[in-house]
Structure formats: C-alpha cells, structure tokens
Amino acid sequence: TALLAKQGLGVGMVALYSFLVTLVLGFIIEKTIGFRLPKDAEVEGVDLAEHAETAYEMSSSSRGGSF
C-alpha cells in the first residue's frame, strides 16, 4: 500500500505540473498572438479572412450528377 500511495502522489504531482505548464503557456499565447480572430474575421469566415479564398463551394453544381 505504501508503493501505491507513492505512485498516486506521483500521478497527482505530474497532473498538477502539466496543468500549471499548460496554464502558463496558454497565458503567454493569449497575451502575444491570441487564440481567437477578431470578431469581424470570425463573421466573414476564417478561410476568407486568413487565406483570401473559400475552402468549399456551397452553391449547387450545374454539371449534374451526385454521389
């Protein structure tokens, strides 16, 4: 049981360490480049805002046929 307690403590410490490192990295990313696009770019669409093109053509094809 002593070994199981040590292993449980180790698991808890690794989980805490991972959480804290992720929190710090997330904070750094948010303060530098950010996680989100500006609101107008979100409304416009990420593909159009970032790449100046659309990823998918949403209009129907005039060639007919379907899969």
Number of helical H runs and strand E runs in the chain:
3, 0
**Is residue 4 scored above 90 in pLDDT?**
yes
Tell me the three state secondary structure of residue 6. helix
Q: Higher pLDDT residue, 13 or 54?
A: 13
Q: What's the confidence (pLDDT) of residue 18?
A: 99
Sorted by where each begins, the domain ranges of the chain are 2-51
Higher pLDDT, 51 or 10: 10
pLDDT tens figures, 15-64:
999 999 999 999 999 999 998 888 888 888 888 878 778 877 777 666 65
Burial string for 2-33 (b: 16+ CB within 10 Å, else e) reads eeeeeeeeeeeeeeeeeeeeeeeeeeeeeeee
